[in-house]
Amino acid sequence: MGGKNIDDQFKIGDLVYYRGFSIFPPDDGSDYNQHMGIIVGVPNGLPHEVSYVIYWFESKLTTRMHCDMIKLVYGK
């Protein structure tokens, strides 16, 4: 795993929502989908201090995300 995280609010095992960019609004006027995932790791290499490896349930993809692009599903 990577080094110490600058953003200590996230830990491996936390459930998170994607809160990044949405290019097109939904056609029905509803809120954007809130894609949920689980933090499964901290990547090696730079910029590991501000990014996390996340498994996304809906798409079944695992991606590296910057901490500003995710938020906790629940409060601590």
> What is the tens place of the pLDDT at every residue in 45-76?
766 678 899 999 999 999 999 998 999 998 76
Task: Tell which wins on pLDDT, 54 or 5.
Answer: 54
**Closest residue by Cα to residue 65 from 7, 18, 4:** 18
**pLDDT at residue 10 tops 80:** yes
| pLDDT score for 32 | 57
Single-letter code of the amino acid located at 45: G
pTM score of the predicted model: 0.73
Q: Write b or e for each residue in 29-68: b if 16 or more Cβ atoms lie within 10 A of its Cβ, otherwise e.
A: eeeeeebebbbeebeeeeebeebbbbebeeeeeeeebebe
| pLDDT score for 60 | 93
